[in-house]
Structure 1
Amino acid sequence: MKERPILFTGAMVLALLDGSKTQTRRIYKNRKHPDAGCDMAASELVREAQHVIHRSCPYGQPGDRLWVRETFRKVMGQTAGWIATDYRATYQHGDRLGDVVGMAGKWTPSIHMPRDASRIQLEIIDVRVERLQEISEADCIAEGIEPNWIGPLDKGPNGTGTEGWLGDEWRHYGHSVEGDPAYSALESYRSLWESINGAGSWDANPWVWVVDFRRTCQ
């Protein structure tokens, strides 16, 4: 069993914590064949046996572990060193005295989180390679998306749809057609993907790694 770090946004950390997120997608980059050593495009890898796909995945294979990196800050004691950890995804303003007196600590980006600060561990169940747009509505929900209709199509903040927010990041999205509510986790996931990977990244329909996992105890 191997253990690797993986980054998640605050909204997705909340979905991991409540158990609604059991899947993630990451853009595929050419990999070397684990036996032959030659580079493989995704279109070539999908024709390989499943055990080759498992062994080629940079995030690990079934049975391996992932520890989650998220935005955090260390709480330092007056006489001791690092005594506790705050996590931005779940932190409530006022939990620390520094919030009240205007001396709150600075948040550290997730990429710099050390293993000892991580509070979430995942066990990989399966991995596969597919085109991004092959994602199903059920897969979108497994990605931690919550379809959420809020109001008429022209009432959204940008005038093109209705939108819901969790903190400052996407998790909810809904839309209606001529006033008839239609709930779509797929539309939500598309918005989430483009907010992370940029405009047009959904239409590019890249090959992606799909990693299924379950949360485990530390």
Structure 2
Amino acid sequence: MPRKLHYLTSSGQDISGEYYASSACGFTGDEDFEWDGTHKKENATCKRCIAALAKPPEPRVPFSERARPILFSGPMVRAILDGKKTVTRRLLPTWQIPKKRSEPDCEPRFNWIAIAQKHPRWGFAAFGETEQTCADELTMYGETPYGRRWERLWVRETWMDLRGTGVEHRPTPDSPLQRYAYGADSPPGSASDEARKDFGLKWRPSIHMPREACRIRLEITDVRAERLHDITVEQIIAEGLSTNLREYDAECDLRRQWRELWESTGGDWESNPWVWAISFKRVTP
């Protein structure tokens, strides 16, 4: 009895000469058994492939609407809204941190290694003669959890759905009623915050914020891998911090604020970790 024919969604050979294939029903070239495929839809005999082909294709999302979520605290959201914060730093994944190779006979240009892209088939590494050159190559080719230059982000923040609560929300007296309220607009102890407590309303954490409640969208302008302590005074200010001290004491005060801010989020300052420095600008949906 002939084997079923599965509809091939992709097939070929990678750069190492290894054959790969995947079908509409989910089979790939990694199975322990052999299966046959076809690139002609009318020749497919697998019922699961035929059912998958019968489904209407998902609508393509325009590039301007594609975005990845990113979390910010209330003070940082206010800094973004005020135009003071234009960069954020996030830890590199453990597998992406540059490491010294232990092989004694490797060429000098391969002394350091960092995983640039983690993928079972298409993954690759960045190399360098020194830790810094390896980080530079990682900056150029590495994959980040938040995307690369020109890509978009949507901000998750502390929020509240006011639909059906009977509580009006107007950011300003002249603005229309809004469905959502945001913690960054009502700091703890403010009149609006106390009023919501009287109605038994509670703020919801940013991690549970849906896309439709988002009010801030960002476009990435630059991404680079660096050590946490390598931040400059200009970059600290771009992180949303400021000082009113004299110029002589300003740098020390800013670095103290930056350390306190990093440690307030549970970050380890002393280890001087590797971070992704993500610069951005606010955009209109």
- TM-score, normalisation: structure 1: 0.72
Cα deviation, 1:69-120, whole Å, max 9, x if unaligned, reads: 01011102269xxx61110111274448x82782141100011101111111
* Distance change in 2, residues 1:61/1:133 (3 Å): same
CA deviation after TM superposition for structure 1 residue 181, in Å: 7.6
- Kept in 2, the 8 Å contact 1:131–1:205? The answer is yes
Name the aligned partner's letter for residue 203 of structure 1: E
Name the aligned partner's letter for residue 74 of structure 1: D
Question: Which among 223, 246, 263 is matched to residue 194 of structure 1?
Answer: 263
* 3-state DSSP of counterpart to 1:144: coil
Question: Which among 121, 124, 133 is matched to residue 229 of structure 2?
Answer: 133
Structure 2, gaps ≥5 residues long: 1-62, 97-114, 167-177
Number of residue pairs aligned between Structure 1 and Structure 2: 181
* Bigger proportion of residues as strand: 1
| Larger RCO: 1 or 2 (CA < 8 Å, sep 6+) | 1
Q: Which residue of 2 aligns with 1:68?
A: 155
Structure 1, gaps ≥5 residues long: 150-175
* Distance change in 2, residues 1:108/1:195 (3 Å): same
Distance 1:100 1:52 in 2: 47
Name the aligned partner's letter for residue 48 of structure 1: E
Distance 2:127 2:199 in 1: 51
Cα deviation, 1:10-69, whole Å, max 9, x if unaligned, reads: 11001000001000000111244349514669947514275413xx11111111111000
- Kept in 2, the 8 Å contact 1:33–1:40? The answer is yes
| Worse-matched range after superposition: 87-96 or 110-119 | 87-96
* 3-state DSSP of counterpart to 1:129: strand
- Kept in 1, the 8 Å contact 2:138–2:225? The answer is no
- TM-align CA RMSD: 3.0
* Distance change in 2, residues 1:78/1:192 (3 Å): closer
Name the aligned partner's letter for residue 258 of structure 2: Y
- TM-score, normalisation: structure 2: 0.56
Question: Which among 14, 30, 33 is matched to residue 116 of structure 2?
Answer: 33
1:49-198 mapped onto 2 (5 Å cutoff)? 50-53=139-142, 56-77=143-164, 84-91=179-186, 93-95=190-192, 99=195, 102-149=198-245, 182-183=249-250, 184-198=253-267
Identity of aligned residues (%): 40
